[in-house]
Chains A and B, each alone.
Chain A
Amino acid sequence: MRTRRGIWIPHAVLLAGLALVLFPIYVAFVASSLTLRDILDAPMTLVPGPEIVANYRAALASGTVSTSGQPVAAMLLNSLVMALVIAIGKIAISLPSAYAVVFFRFPLRRVCFWGIFVTLMLPVEVRIIPTYKIAADLGLIDSYAGLTLPLVASATATLLFRQFFLTIPDELVEAAKIDGAGPWRFFIDTVIPLSRTNIAALFVILFIYGWNQYLWPLLVTDSPSMTTIVIGIRQMIANGDAQTAWHLVMATALLAMLPPVAVVLAMQRWFVVGLVETEK
């Protein structure tokens, strides 16, 4: 069944796929290494140029003065804070929740569980305006808290952990009881270490989720100093008369891609397994 030619075709198709996937990124990369003139002189070349260091430095330091004047570095920082807080926050909240739902019996347990479960179904985009109002009322506009808090209630994480906790054998819980470990100790000494893989996978997923957030930060931040990178980049593309500094925009785009890509690459092994498990 597997002839020499047979191996050839899949590789060819996959390489074509790679090309398709990488092409836009590659073009952006090249653009970020040229001067603005080279780009405006369309069509631009497909060979990288010498301006990489200069462009990236400029972007990081000063953004595009013509539009918002925010240094890209600052915006990257905002995004980073947001993504980290959301990822860590969600995990930190959902671990105890899942633990409570699985290992304890208390009145209203089912209600709580379904209440959390329901949030799965409605992404933030759907309840956007009232959430904004509440955030405003609580004084959270233009703050890191405002950026992150509303997004921290995650059912996905809780659900995933719950599924996993259900597979922990009862005997283990009983052995711990006899060993003298109370519920809290059991949680820290046994449950969390056993959840390591799940936590790693979730971290990647949530980090990317947080980093990519668009609609919510758009609403909740007004001042340029709180802008996240994915929104900031929008402002760098001028409408109207001003000339867009494409070379800087592309540099910024690549910078904006780096952290999530880095996280995915670093946690690759766990991530692929975890992603498939989560969605199921």
Chain B
Amino acid sequence: MLLLPQLAVTFVFFFWPAGQAIVQSVQGGDAFGLSTRFVALENFAVVLAEPAYLASVEVTLIFSFAVALLALAPGLLFAVMADRIVRGAAFYKTVLLLPYAVAPAIAGVLWLFLFNPSVGIIAVALRRAGVDWNYVLNGRQALLLVILAAAWKQIGYNFLFFLVGLQAIPKALLEASAIDGASTRRRFWTIVFPLLAPTSFFLLVVNIVYAFFDTFGIIHNVTQGGPAKATEILVYKVWYDGVVGLDLGSSAAQSVILMTIVIALTAIQFRFIERRVHYA
């Protein structure tokens, strides 16, 4: 009885739709949705063979890895720096964490403003420096822009987790290695980095999932998947094909594919965390 509300909502709004998505993915219909027939894995085959889909996969991969890298590296850097200071740590933490509170969509708008070909400050500076900046027309630049916006938002989150991970490393280990004669750099790479591995792995998965899904708002606000699909990541395509293009079967198939990817990623992460708990 206590569980009822949660179970009810979960069933109605989760299992049912998930099931429906699977069902729809094995159905095909005409454009008017007047009839559906069972087409088994045909939708999947079509989707996977579609050049647009493969292009989207490529975009998504580039996007996620770039975002992950650009968000993780500075996060780690700031965490290492913050770990060294005593005063002001709380202040830095608070400020660096702020972008977490900013909606992805808003983050997109902020960066859009900076890079807007006509009024954006950075855009103007770039043009003055000789770069022909116009992301509305240039697909690569558009991709760069959304990558920057997405990464900017995640840095704070990564920073926080890295900091916690760093502070969990027993000081005794570092002191022992200092006595052994290791320089700061050596210490970092041979002790700190390996001990941070679980945290890093965890954050990598989280960042990739973030890049896959939570960035919808950024894409939609800034580039709408353009120009010419240059920034159409997989989740955006699901929406676009389903809602704008009204191709339910294809959209559902894409959903299912995405579902599988996420489950795989989460499973890997859980498995790894299990192991981490054992050797911690």
Contact = CB atoms under 8 A, between A and B. Distances in A.
A121 B270 CA distance: 11
Contacts of B160: 272, 275-276
A240 to B, nearest CB: 11
B243 A219 contact: yes
Most buried by B among A131, A149, A150: A131
A28 B85 contact: no
Contacts of B242: 128-129
B239 A128 contact: yes
B105 A231 contact: yes
Interface string A203-244: 000001001101100110000000000110110010000000
A93 interface: yes
Given A39-B119, A129-B248, A212-B217, A158 B100 contact: no
Interface string B148-186: 000010011000110010000000000000100000000
B13 interface: yes
A104 to B, nearest CB: 8
A130 B262 contact: no
Interface string B81-119: 110110010001111111111111111011111100011
Nearest to A129: B242
B16 interface: yes
Given A116-B10, A125-B238, A246-B119, A130 B21 contact: yes
Interface residues of B, number: 86
B100 A125 contact: no
B266 interface: yes
Contacts of A250: 113
Contact of A17 (B78, B121, B206): B78
Interface residues of A, number: 85
Interface in A76-97: 93-94, 96-97
A66 interface: no
A11 B110 contact: no
Contact of B105 (A112, A120, A133, A233): A233
A210 to B, nearest CB: 10
Contacts of A101: 3
Q: Which secondary structure characterizes the binding site on chain B? A: helix
Interface stretch (B34-42, B47-55, B57-65, B252-260): B252-260
A9 B77 CA distance: 12
Contacts of B109: 233-234, 237, 249, 253
B98 A134 contact: no
B77 A233 contact: no
A246 B110 CA distance: 11
A234 B105 contact: yes
B129 interface: no
A129 B10 contact: no
Contacts of B102: 25, 257, 260-261
A53 interface: no
Interface stretch (A56-64, A169-177, A194-202, A263-271): A263-271
A208 B101 CA distance: 6
Interface in B8-29: 9-10, 12-21, 24
Given A153-B9, A276-B161, A214 B2 contact: no
Interface string A35-47: 0000110111010
15 contacts: A14-B88, A115-B10, A122-B18, A128-B238, A129-B17, A130-B19, A134-B20, A149-B9, A150-B9, A233-B221, A234-B109, A253-B109, A256-B103, A257-B106, A280-B273
Interface in B224-280: 235, 238-239, 242-243, 248, 251-252, 255, 258-259, 262-263, 266, 273
A101 B6 CA distance: 12
A6 B109 CA distance: 38
Contacts of B5: 93, 96-97
B103 A122 contact: no
B139 interface: no
A100 B110 contact: no
Contacts of A121: 262-263, 266
A44 B206 CA distance: 37
Given A127-B17, A153-B9, A231-B105, A27 B113 contact: yes
Contacts of A9: 81
A21 B18 contact: no
Contacts of B24: 129-130
B216 A14 contact: no
B7 interface: yes
Contacts of A27: 110, 113-114, 121
A165 interface: no
A229 to B, nearest CB: 8
Interface in A1-56: 1-2, 6-7, 9-11, 13-14, 17-18, 20-22, 24-25, 27-28, 31, 39-40, 42-44, 46
A22 B92 CA distance: 12
B124 interface: yes
Contacts of B77: 13, 17
